[in-house]
Structure 1
Amino acid sequence: MKPLGVALLAACAWSAQAAEGDAARGRALVASREQGLCLLCHAAPIAEQRQQGNLAPDLAGVASRLTPQQLRQRMTEPRAGSMMPVFGPTAGLQHVGERWRDKPIFDAQQLEDVLAYLQSLK
């Protein structure tokens, strides 16, 4: 597994200010067509949302494939060459567009909520 990067360490410290994640709120964020936009690329076990993506891995069973740390890392420090955006703070990351610097997609609580939902998908 890849060692913890600067961005992931910053995201962990940033998330420490949040309460424990709520999977129901996280599910709503994943399903949201206005904020998370997860379903543009991913499919997920959210039957009421049609037209889910197929560009990225299906989120069904993601918790059986990735550890909680790996899930957090994927959301806060995507791999090079990935289209996945950074959902947490951008401190320590390179190639962040000026428009998006210091403007995370999710706040610390929302990130924890989405991670709680993803961890429920076994």
Structure 2
Amino acid sequence: MMRTACLAVAGLLLAASSGACEEAGSYVVTGDAIMEPLVGGKGDPARGAALISDRQRSLCTLCHSGPFPDAHLHGTLAPDLTGVGARLLEGQIRLRVVDMKRLVPNTIMPSYYRIAEEEGRRVATAWRSKPILTGADIEDIVAYLTTLKG
């Protein structure tokens, strides 16, 4: 009896969360930017550069090109990130990495700071219940991208 009740509750919770996304942490969007860092302090640009080049972790170079190693592996689906630090402010870059879908709902760029619980076949099991990148990872990437001025 108890097992049946637990299974019923688990089923209801699973159904209620189906298709839901949560934020990994809180932030405030002002216009087209997140002005405050997701975690305390500035990120590390060197770590951000390494993350961008890591095709298994950040996935940035699957779609973007830029001044990164292995240019022959860069994607062409998304804007070139060369000079992004001159085109966008730090907070604008942060929002684009956190949740580009807020600005362009039909973008193929994932929301790196959202937790995809059960989005059906589009979310691999390894990525469920956690964000793609942590707040610290995002701050490192933002710190690096803001250095790309030209």
Please confirm whether the aligned pair reaches a TM-score higher than 0.5, indicating the same fold: yes
Partner-residue secondary structure (3-state), 1:15: coil
- The offset of 1:20, in angstroms, is 1.8
Q: Are 1:42 and 1:59, in contact at CA under 8 Å, matched by a contact in 2?
A: yes
Partner-residue secondary structure (3-state), 2:72: coil
* 1:59 corresponds to 2:81: yes
Q: Are 1:64 and 1:121, in contact at CA under 8 Å, matched by a contact in 2?
A: yes
Compare CA radii of gyration and give the structure with the larger one. Answer: 2
1:110: which partner in 2?
Answer: 137
- Quick one: distance in 2 between partners of 1:63 and 1:32? 20
Pairing of 1:1-122 with structure 2 (within 5 A): 10-11=26-27, 15-16=38-39, 18-78=40-100, 79-90=104-115, 97=119, 99=123, 100=127, 102-122=129-149
- The offset of 1:37, in angstroms, is 1.0
Gaps of 5+ in 1: 1-6
- Quick one: distance in 2 between partners of 1:60 and 1:96? 35
Gaps of 5+ in 2: 1-22, 29-35
- The offset of 1:102, in angstroms, is 4.0
- The offset of 1:14, in angstroms, is 7.9
Aligned-pair Cα RMSD in Å? 2.8
Q: Could you tell me which amino acid in structure 1 is paired with residue 75 of structure 2?
A: G
